[in-house]
Structure 1
Amino acid sequence: MKGIVQKYNTDKGYGFIRMDNGTNLFFHITDVTNAAFVSPGDAVEFDTEMRSKGLAAKNIVLHGNNRPAFISFGDINLKISNIKDYGLGHDIGEEEYEEDVHFTAGEKVISGLFGIGLLAGGSFDGFSLLDTSDRKVKQKRPVKIKYLYVTTFQNDNYRFYKRDVSFDINQKYQELCDRLT
């Protein structure tokens, strides 16, 4: 059958197709087989099926829609028409770094005298514990970790953390904005 998309709610992912005979049929975005974008006025071909609330369109094919149907996030490909929500966010995580520890001349002298005093008494053989050479110490600090999130109509939730992916999450966010609005 053939028809024209009359109304489409992008937030909810459903709309209505006006058939050639004037009847309006309900459809959901998951019934669209080949398109990234659905908008009023699009010409479509479809099958019909009886559902609990009446006749509905299924296996919908949009005509004249040359826009890509998928977007890639590294090795994950998502159908554009299945994306319900997306955005940028951040979590608080930890970052490990090395910090140089330097002893002043005074600290080295005091440490050395303390070690000599213990050795002279003969009661503690731990001079090696009083290492006063400069060294690096591993530390942790809190950091904001930026991510791109994507939710589908099938309730699949994806988070792509900036530090873990091979693509620029800001560019992917802009690509989603361009293709979904």
Structure 2
Amino acid sequence: MRAAMALWRTKGFADTTVTDICKAAGVSKALFYVYFARREDVLLEVEILTMRDAHAAAEKVVSKPYELLDVITLVIDALEQRARHFPPELIFETVLETYRLEQRTLAGGGTDADIAYLFLDPFRQAQRDGKLAAHVDVVRVARLAQMLVADGVRCWAATGFGNEPLAPKLAAEVDTIISAFQQPDAHRRL
């Protein structure tokens, strides 16, 4: 994975082949294919590690008194900090590959709960802690929040990451969506 990331930073994603990755890592193609079916799977594995960082940040916050906005901000901040180490092209590829994975999951009989991985656990914890009303469809809210974040990260990368931090503004937008779902009978309107 480190070899792939280094090549993607210098050569770009589109111009890096599995052969290039294997050569840089000093492994055979056969060994590569034991772990990954294609180079995009390496990208998804990096994304999984990023998600773990985001969830670890969320777990630290919910272990003491917290506000849901703080959890959302930390999750997005963890993504932002990791993303700043990669070229915008790679962020685009990651978002696209995540969408492809979601499509394959849903086409294979998966549910929204199976693809709402970014916020589902933190939002479930928030609901248990009374930070989200009992009537809130946590899976739907987590899925909407994740889509908003994916699009926000994609747009942010398109601007070359800009000078302003992404997390505060994007977290406020997610919080606005959650606030709408918190209203009585929101599940009927939304």
TM-score category by the smaller chain? under 0.3
The normalised TM-score by structure 2 is 0.22
Higher helix share: 2
Higher relative contact order (CA 8 A, sep 6+): 2
Higher Cα radius of gyration = 1
- TM-score calculated relative to the size of structure 1: 0.23
Q: Larger % of strand: which?
A: 1
